[in-house]
Amino acid sequence: MLKRTPLFEKHVAAGARMVEFGGWEMPVQYSGIIDEHNAVRQSVGLFDISHMGRLMVRGPQAEEFLQHVVTCDVSAIPLGQSNYGLLCRPDGGIVDDIFIYHLPDEFLVVINASNREKDWQWLHDHTEGFDVEIVSRSDRWAMLAVQGPGAEALLIQAEESGAGSLHDLPFHGVALSSIFGYTALVARTGYTGEDGFELFFDAVHAEEIWDKLVGLGAKPCGLGARDSLRFEPCLALYGHEINDDINPYEARLGWVVKLDKGDFVGREALVAIKAAGPSRRLTGFEMVGKGVARGDYPVHTLDGEPIGVVTTGMPAPSIGRPLGIAYVPTSLSAEGSEFDILIREKPVRARAIKMPFYKPRYKK
């Protein structure tokens, strides 16, 4: 049985096409992927992301525990701010990518939907020696993303009495607010390359808050647009650009690894990987020949030697041409390098280009 979010009935009633994603039955599109994509780039889109995991990490040694299991420097996250981090295996492989929100007396950790059980077990397996408690809020809370250049103005309308405090919320900031009279945790974070917010609140209010946000002009968006929106600024998706067999340096996520913060799970391996340099690297490319690269398509040298695989590929709506991301040998990762993508078993020429394809427009 696939799991469902508190908004499942709303999605079906709105005519969304539902698909399986990470064990969940989720909307892939409503009016169409391109239409929804453009709404987020130009105005404001609304995503149900309640399938993601939400864990509270609390106790006297909550910060020390998180420092031990994540790659970023948790001690450098001020109260009321958040940061991106990675959970890594002892060999440097990525268990998951996460967001950590520093709240009064506790931390909120948001994890990927497909990794909810795995991450829960992984974190608990590393609590020995730490005075810490991990509490799940995944089923109790709903989670929505309001994204796009119109997100701030729309949410200010939704704030109780039009307080307008969200205008002053900084990039990666997180604060309690009142949305349509309901208490909500609001963070200026997201996964689209646009300014936007993510809302956490009691799931019993999900349908009412969803309807009211739509009533203010937020366009419902599905997983299809979520994928194309994150693809253009080259934001990693677990199971595609990152997984247990991929380390941060080959995934171009070395900036998330703070080796000087002290010991943490995977540090020793990551020190060695950084010193040696990765043998392969995540690389953006454009199609030179005719065709569209898709995820899992093989990558070959011009001589026909298998060298890698496409992690994500599609016609990028905001750029107007087929682009892709692939793992290739580091020697072929420089801009201008050429290789072939096998499309229906036929080699089609591709050329490495600069990442990201789309410059994010976060409010900083």
pLDDT higher than threshold 80 for residue 334: yes
Say yes or no to pLDDT of 273 above 60.
yes
pLDDT given at position 117: 96
Q: What is the pLDDT of residue 165?
A: 79
Q: Could you tell me what percent of the chain has a pLDDT over 70?
A: 99
Average pLDDT score over residue span 252-261? 98
Give the whole-angstrom CA distance, residue 121 versus residue 118.
5
Instruction: Please say if the pLDDT value at position 218 is more than 70.
Output: yes
Whole-number Cα distances in Å, 269 to 65, 94, 189, 322: 20, 12, 30, 36
Average pLDDT for residues 326-345, to the nearest whole number?
A: 98
pLDDT of amino acid 161:
56
pLDDT score for 5: 98
Residue 247 near residue 273, CB atoms below 8 Å = yes
Q: What is the pLDDT of residue 3?
A: 97
Residue % of the chain over a pLDDT of 90: 97
Arithmetic mean of pLDDT, 246-250: 98
Task: Look at the pTM and tell me if it is higher than 0.95.
Answer: yes
Q: What is the reported pLDDT for 364? A: 85
Q: What is the pLDDT, as a whole number, of residue 164?
A: 58
Per-residue pLDDT band at 209 (split at 50, 70, 90): very high
CA 252: distance to chain centroid?
A: 15
Per the prediction, the chain carries an average pLDDT of 97
| List of domains in the chain | 8-51+139-231 (3.30.1360.120), 54-129 (3.30.70.1400), 279-364 (2.40.30.110)
Sign for the CA dihedral angle at 6, 9, 10, 15 comes to positive
**pLDDT single digits (tens) 112-161:** 999 999 999 999 999 999 999 999 999 999 999 999 999 999 999 999 75
